[in-house]
Amino acid sequence: MAISCRWERKFFQLGYRRVAGLDEVGRGALAGPIMAAGVIFTPVQLNQLKNLKGVNDSKKLSAQQRENFFPLIKKKCQAWALAKVEAKIIDRIGIEKANHLVLEKVLKKIKAEVALIDGRIKLNNKKTKLYSIVKGDQKVFSIAAASILAKVSRDQLMVKLDKQHPQYGFKRHKGYGTALHYARLAKNGFCPCHRLSFRLK
């Protein structure tokens, strides 16, 4: 499965100019927010991607590769946006609604005409044409770029939370349910950035 710009170019040919790729990260974590990003490239920018060759689904890249692409994507794109939904809100409304909410926040910020969204997502947004693409982060360049912005931004946030709550090892596992994280939870209990609604899962 190869990353391409054919989806973006399809809509450019139809006369649209603000075509965004959206993705979220942190859905399955036990702590920290769910975070989403949106990225828009112009037709000219998509034709000048020399420095962004190798952009892919953030899960397929190393941490160093993601960090290298992070400033380049922000510099080379026309527009980008980030949004997050904190653990306490996830606990209150549930992860599905939180996932929709964080994407809606990004849409509001980035003001796209067309949004290409990773996964099977149905949002109510009458201002933007929405297209859900299964495994979009492995197919659509703009979605892959958004996945990198979201992942690096969330990882940076978890490193900051590690300094506030060093007993949990957030810097190492980024809030996901690793053996280390479960061991630290057993020893220290929960902190305010944990999703309490996830504790029995």
What is the full per-residue pLDDT of the chain (201 aa) written as tens digits?
A: 688 899 999 999 999 999 999 999 999 999 999 999 999 999 999 888 877 888 988 999 999 999 999 999 999 999 999 999 999 999 999 999 999 999 999 999 999 999 999 988 878 777 899 999 999 999 999 999 999 999 999 999 999 999 999 999 999 999 999 999 999 999 999 999 999 987 644
CB of 73 closer than 8 Å to CB of 80: yes
Mapped to the 3 state alphabet, what secondary structure does 82-127 carry? EEEECHHHHHHHCHHHHHHHHHHHHHHHHCCCEEEEECCCCCCCCC
CA torsion, ordered 64, 149, 3, 109, to nearest 10 deg: -170
pLDDT score recorded for residue 127: 81
All structural domains of the chain, each given as residue ranges with its CATH number in brackets, are 6-157 (3.30.420.10)
pLDDT score recorded for residue 11: 95
Q: Single out the residue of 132, 96, 101 nearest to residue 114, CA to CA.
A: 132
Q: What angle do CA 196, 26, 51 make, to 5 degrees?
A: 165
66 backbone dihedrals φ, ψ, rounded to 5°:
-60, -45
**Strands 79-85 vs 19-25: parallel, antiparallel or unpaired:** unpaired
pLDDT score recorded for residue 199: 65
Structure tokens at 30: 């036990």
pLDDT score recorded for residue 201: 46
